[in-house]
Structure formats: C-alpha cells, structure tokens
Amino acid sequence: MRIPQTPPRLHDLMMEVQSTGRLMELFAKMGQARPQRNYLHWDKLRRYNPPEGMSHREWWMMLKLSRTESLKPIGLKDKSGRAFQFSVPALVQEELHQIDLGAGGLVSIPEPITNPQTRDRYLVSSLMEEAITSSQLEGAVTTRDVAREMIRSGRKPRDTSEQMILNNFITMQRIRTLKGSKLTPALVMEVHRLVTENTLEDPTAAGRLRRADEKRVVGDDFGEVYHIPPPAEELEERMAAMCAFANGKSPDYFIHPAVRAIVLHFWLAYDHPFVDGNGRTARALFYWAMLHHHYWLFEFISISNILRKAPVKYARSFLYTETDDNDLTYFLIAQTQVIRRAILELHDYIEKKTTEMRDVESHMRALDLFNHRQVEVIRHALKHPGQRYTFASHQKSHNIAYQTARTDLMNLEEQGLLVAKKRGRQMGFFSTADLGDRLLKMEKEARL
C-alpha cells in the first residue's frame, strides 16, 4: 500500500496567498471550496479539478481553514505532543443517526433475536464470525468452515492461526460480561492476554506493555513503514489517559458514544502498546465501548467481516489521520460507514436465515416432532451433507446444557434422520444420505 502524500502546511499556503494579494478574493469563494458530501484528503483532492479560479493548493488552503473551525481536540497526543482532533461533519452525523436507529435503544429487530429460543444461535454465530475475520485481518490463515468446526467441537487448535481465532472467540465472550465495567489498564491487559494466549514468540509478553528494548513499527512485508508508535516509556501514562477518555472523564464536552468507541479503537492502535495483538485488542475494546454504551445489538454484529473485505481502506483511514495534522475525522468517516454496513448485513443475514428456517419448517410443521434446535441441525445437514455433529458442538452452537444437547441428537437418531458413529472415544452424528426423502415421508405419514 502506498503512503498518502502529506498535505501542504497551512502556514506555508497562507504565506503564498498573501504574497499574491489574492486572500480576500479566495475568501469570497469559500463556499465553492467546500465539497458537500466528501471529506477529501489532499492525496485525493489533488486528483480532482479545483473550483474555477483556484489552484489545488489554494483549494486545499480554503478547505483547511473551514475545517479548522470545527475541529475539537482530545487527550490523545502524537509523539511530538500535538493533540489529535476530530469534527462531526454532516455525513458522519447521518451515519451516527442510522447507528442509533439500527443498534441501540428500542431498535426494531427481527423476532429470531428477541426470541430466547433462537437468540443464542445468532449470538454464537456472530461471535464466531468476528473471531474468525478479526484474526484473518491479522494474518490468520484458515477457512471459516474449519474454524467453526474447531470452536463447535471444542477440539484443540492445530496451529497459531486456529489459536488466534479461538482466543478471539473467548475474548468476545468475555467482553459481553465486562460491558458494565469501567475500562482500566488492568482490564486492557486482561483483554490482551486473552487475545494472545499461546500465540506469541515470548509468552511473557501476553498482558503486559512492550518494553523499551522491544521496538515495534507498523509496516508491510516489503520494508515500508507506515507508523512508528510512541516510545515504551510513555505507554503507562498514555494508557491511563486512554482509559479516562473511554470512561467519559475527558474531555470536558459531549462526545457521541459511538464516536468515543471509534476513537478508542484508533487510540490503542496508534499507541501500539503491545508487542503483538494490538489490532485485535483495539477492535475488542471497540466492542466493549459499544456494549458499555448500551448498543446491545453489537453482541450480534461483526465489524471485522466488513473490514476484511477492504483492508487497504481500513489502513488508509489511519494514514489519512496521521498525515493531515492528526485529523481523526477521516477515521470516523470510515468507521461509521463500516458500522452501518455491518448493521445492514446483520439484518440481511437474519432475514435470509429466517426464510431458510421457514422453508424447512414448511416440511416439518405437520410432524410437530422437533424443537427449534433440532430444526436447525436438520436445516444445516440438508445443506452440508457429511457434516459431523457432536454433543459438544451442539451444546456450544446453542449455548445449552450438555444433557439437552445429548437429548436433541439422540432423538434425531431415533427418528432415523441422523446416524451415530464413534471416532475414538467420542460419539459423532451424521445425516442419512436420503435425509430429504425421509423428511418428506415422515410429513406424508403425519398427514394421514
């Protein structure tokens, strides 16, 4: 990925314009200089045609002057001591409104999530999705099917990639229990320890700040350096400031809760306080913040699934902020768009799964022999012939007691829809080759 071109300094531009005597003329054209729907970085703006009668440098100067009026500083400072700032332009306000409508308060959500009988299935599925895609963003190499099978079956990870995914799944479960807690350095350390368990070259680095001798930079495999984090000597103080911000103790003005969660995400990623696992920890803290501020639907939403589809755009939003006077607005715009897309995808996913469930139930309603969990096993088995189901995987998929899981699968075997086979000491269940035909036969018999 190419590093964006650093914008010209506002002071230098002002000096240039003053020397030409065009300052008042340009101020008269201020309205023409402001794009209505975009918040362009210099690296992009220089590729567009400027307003008539302006050069690119003059156009950028007028934009910077108009933006500076609305920028507000926060406690995060760069390595030179300059504060990061943000604004909430109209396009961010619109996204925040949609997030409020779609993920918090009395949001209207399809019945499968509000129904206690099916809610846990969607919850477990979303936790797995976030665990997998967040790990893939950090280099984990495995397929969704393999990763889901590992989590459901409870088997031990075979490699570092699988360990990363399992760690993320455990972390996301833990975040749900921590949502009512204040953020403290100790809690951040706990989250990092969970994320990095058994994945670090130095196991002692899990759950502690990097040391002065542990130099870290953010870059690519070709030696390009994108970010040099603050020195290790500052990390303890910086983390205390980050926690104060997360808990609403700073700054002394209102910040929208979703904006606060997004800035927390950026803050930890910028400080890069750990030798590894910073990205996963930053995204986990984002989830903590959203749930802490009662965006309850985020138990079911995966932002990493969206980020994984456009990783360069995700990385570039960090670079735009750093290269343009610490303007966090770029990151806010990118992340509010990601959040809203993730909310829409959840609604689409639920609608799709609800339709699938109804299709299966239309062939089984007359039987009245299966509970909703068994219906889900049958639905899954119809689409995935040869899939192995165990008491442990069924228990984990639906967040139920072991005996309930055992009863569900044994009953399906008794009905002739699953076949039990032993692998070592563990019992597994597989769908019959003619599962669809058996269902139709049972339905006809029930109607007689």
Secondary structure string (H, E, C) spanning 137-178: HCCCCCCHHHHHHHHHHCCCCCCHHHHHHHHHHHHHHHHHHH
Note whether 29 and 147 are same-domain residues.
no
The answer to whether residue 420 sits within a structural domain is yes
For residues 285 and 370, membership in a common domain is answered with no
pLDDT of residue 33: 63
Pair 225, 151 in one domain: yes
Is 2 contained in some domain? no
Residue 164: inside a domain: yes
Q: How confident is the model at residue 366 (pLDDT cuts 50, 70, 90)?
A: low
Same domain, 245 and 154: yes
The first and second tokens of residue 428, run together, are: 């597994």
pLDDT at 390: 93
Confidence at residue 112, expressed as pLDDT on a 0 to 100 scale: 59
Q: State which of 22-26, 272-276, 312-316 shows the largest mean pLDDT.
A: 272-276
**Residue 284 shares a structural domain with residue 257:** yes
Per-residue pLDDT, 435: 84
Q: Quick one: 345 and 399 in the same domain?
A: no
Closest CA to 71 of 97, 92, 51, 99: 92
How many residues in the chain?
448
Among the candidates 349, 372, 400, a domain finishes at 349
Q: Is residue 355 situated within a structural domain?
A: no
Q: Is residue 5 part of a domain?
A: no
Neighbours of 165 (CB within 10 A): 26
Range with the lowest mean pLDDT among 220-229, 348-357, 392-401?
348-357
293 versus 442: which is more confidently predicted? Answer: 293
Q: Confidence band (pLDDT; 50, 70, 90) for 43?
A: very high
Ramachandran region of residue 306, left (φ > 0), alpha (ψ -120 to 50) or beta? alpha
Kind and range of the H or E element at 419? strand 418-423
Instruction: Supply the pLDDT for residue 231.
Output: 95
Per-residue pLDDT at 259 = 97
Residues 305 and 171 in one domain: yes
For the stretch 12-32, pLDDT in tens is: 999 988 888 887 777 777 776
Asked if the model's pLDDT at residue 328 lies above 80, the reply is yes
Q: Supply the pLDDT for residue 110.
A: 55
Looking at the domain assignment, is residue 278 inside a domain?
A: yes
The DSSP 8-state label assigned to residue 184 in this structure reads: -
Q: Report the pLDDT value the prediction gives residue 272, as an integer from 0 to 100.
A: 96
Q: How many CB atoms lie within 10 A of CB 384?
A: 11
pLDDT tens for each residue of 133-162: 988 888 888 888 898 889 888 899 999 999
Nearest by Cα to 167 from 268, 281, 248, 282:
281
83 and 197 belong to one structural domain:
yes
Q: Which amino acid is at 340?
A: R
- Percentage of the chain modeled with pLDDT above 70: 91
Do residues 47 and 84 share a domain? no
- Going from the C-alpha of 386 to that of each of 87, 131, 154, 418, the distances in angstroms are 53, 25, 19, 11
pLDDT at 299: 83
DSSP annotation string for 48-75 = SPPPTT--HHHHHHHHHHHHHTT-EEEE
pLDDT of 447 > 80? The answer is no
pLDDT of residue 424: 77
pTM for the full predicted model: 0.82
Phi, psi of 427 (to 5 degrees): -85, 135
Q: Final residue of a domain: which of 52, 69, 86? A: 69
| Domain carrying residue 26 | 10-69
**Would you state the pLDDT for residue 72?**
96
Is 149 a member of any domain? Answer: yes
Q: Are residues 304 and 375 in the same domain?
A: no
State the average pLDDT over residues 303-321. 91
What are the tens digits of pLDDT across the range 158-205?
A: 999 999 999 999 999 999 999 999 999 999 999 999 999 999 999 999
Q: Are residues 92 and 16 in the same domain?
A: no
Residues 134 and 250 in one domain: yes
pLDDT score, position 274? 97
Residues 282 and 39: their CA atoms lie apart, in Å, by 25
Per-residue pLDDT, 235: 97
Average pLDDT in the 399-420 region? 94
Q: Are 374 and 408 in contact (CB under 8 A)?
A: yes
State the CATH number of the domain containing residue 323. Answer: 1.10.3290.10
Maximum mean pLDDT: which of 222-226, 270-274, 293-297, 351-355: 270-274
Confidence category of residue 119, pLDDT binned at 50, 70, 90: low
Q: How far apart are the first and last CA of the chain?
A: 66
Biggest CA pair distance of the chain: 95
In a domain, 91, yes or no: yes
Out of 349, 380, 401, pick the residue that ends a domain: 349
pLDDT at residue 285 in the model: 97
pLDDT of the residue at 104: 63
Q: What's the pLDDT at 317?
A: 95
pLDDT classification of 47: cutoffs 50, 70, 90: very high
Is the pLDDT score of 379 beyond 70?
A: yes
Q: Work out how many domains the chain is built from and give that number.
A: 3
The mean pLDDT of the chain is 88
pLDDT at 252 over 70: yes
Q: Are 314 and 77 in contact (CB under 8 A)?
A: no
String of DSSP letters for 312-347: HHHHHHHHHHHHTTTBTHHHHHHHHHHHHHHHHHHH
The CATH number covering residue 375 comes to: 1.10.10.10
Least confidently predicted of 54-63, 185-194, 434-443:
434-443
Give residue 113's pLDDT band: very low, low, confident or very high (50, 70, 90): low
CA distance 122 to 267: 30
Give the model's pLDDT for residue 297: 81
